[in-house]
Amino acid sequence: MVVIGGFDPLQDWQKRYYEGLKRRVTNKEVRLIEYPNAIHGFHTFSELPDTPLVIAEVIDFIRKHSQLSQRV
Protein backbone atom coordinates (compact mmCIF):
# COMPACT_ATOMS: atom_id res chain seq x y z
CA MET A 1 0.00 0.00 0.00
CA VAL A 2 1.32 3.38 -1.03
CA VAL A 3 -0.41 6.51 0.28
CA ILE A 4 0.23 9.81 -1.48
CA GLY A 5 -0.75 13.32 -0.50
CA GLY A 6 -1.51 15.69 -3.36
CA PHE A 7 0.72 18.40 -1.86
CA ASP A 8 3.58 16.01 -1.10
CA PRO A 9 6.75 17.14 -2.89
CA LEU A 10 7.74 13.45 -3.14
CA GLN A 11 4.57 12.32 -4.89
CA ASP A 12 6.26 11.72 -8.27
CA TRP A 13 8.81 9.44 -6.61
CA GLN A 14 6.03 7.66 -4.69
CA LYS A 15 4.06 7.03 -7.88
CA ARG A 16 7.16 5.56 -9.53
CA TYR A 17 7.69 3.37 -6.48
CA TYR A 18 4.08 2.15 -6.74
CA GLU A 19 4.47 1.39 -10.44
CA GLY A 20 7.66 -0.56 -9.69
CA LEU A 21 5.89 -2.57 -7.00
CA LYS A 22 3.07 -3.43 -9.41
CA ARG A 23 5.60 -4.77 -11.92
CA ARG A 24 7.59 -6.82 -9.41
CA VAL A 25 4.95 -8.06 -6.96
CA THR A 26 2.67 -10.51 -8.71
CA ASN A 27 1.27 -12.60 -5.86
CA LYS A 28 0.07 -9.77 -3.58
CA GLU A 29 -2.23 -6.79 -3.87
CA VAL A 30 -0.46 -3.48 -4.42
CA ARG A 31 -2.73 -0.54 -3.70
CA LEU A 32 -2.29 3.18 -4.34
CA ILE A 33 -4.37 5.62 -2.32
CA GLU A 34 -4.25 9.31 -3.09
CA TYR A 35 -5.46 12.14 -0.89
CA PRO A 36 -5.40 15.20 -3.16
CA ASN A 37 -5.51 17.80 -0.38
CA ALA A 38 -2.95 16.15 1.91
CA ILE A 39 0.66 17.03 2.70
CA HIS A 40 3.65 14.74 3.21
CA GLY A 41 3.25 12.73 6.41
CA PHE A 42 -0.32 13.92 6.94
CA HIS A 43 -1.22 10.67 8.70
CA THR A 44 0.88 11.79 11.69
CA PHE A 45 -1.26 14.89 12.30
CA SER A 46 -4.38 13.75 14.14
CA GLU A 47 -6.10 17.10 13.69
CA LEU A 48 -6.20 16.83 9.87
CA PRO A 49 -9.51 15.57 8.40
CA ASP A 50 -7.93 12.89 6.17
CA THR A 51 -5.93 11.28 8.99
CA PRO A 52 -8.68 9.03 10.39
CA LEU A 53 -9.66 8.05 6.85
CA VAL A 54 -6.18 6.89 5.87
CA ILE A 55 -5.67 5.11 9.18
CA ALA A 56 -8.92 3.20 8.63
CA GLU A 57 -7.79 2.25 5.12
CA VAL A 58 -4.44 1.01 6.39
CA ILE A 59 -6.14 -1.05 9.10
CA ASP A 60 -8.51 -2.59 6.56
CA PHE A 61 -5.62 -3.40 4.22
CA ILE A 62 -3.63 -5.05 7.01
CA ARG A 63 -6.62 -7.05 8.20
CA LYS A 64 -7.37 -8.19 4.67
CA HIS A 65 -3.80 -9.38 4.10
CA SER A 66 -2.72 -10.59 7.53
CA GLN A 67 -2.14 -14.27 8.21
CA LEU A 68 -4.32 -14.15 11.31
CA SER A 69 -7.41 -12.91 9.45
CA GLN A 70 -6.98 -15.64 6.83
CA ARG A 71 -7.11 -18.36 9.51
CA VAL A 72 -10.35 -17.13 11.12
Query: For the segment 5-44, what is each residue's pLDDT rounded down to a tens digit?
Result: 999 999 999 999 999 999 999 888 999 999 999 999 999 9
Give the residue numbers spanning the domain of 48.
2-71
Look at the chain and report how many structural domains it folds into.
1
Mean pLDDT confidence for 51-72: 85
Pairing of the two strands 32-35 and 2-5: parallel
CA atoms within 13 A on the CB side of 2: 18
pLDDT confidence of residue 67: 72
Q: How confident is the model at residue 2 (pLDDT cuts 50, 70, 90)?
A: very high
Q: Phi and psi dihedrals of 31, rounded to 5?
A: -120, 140
pLDDT at 72 over 60: no
- 26/13 Cα distance (integer angstroms): 21
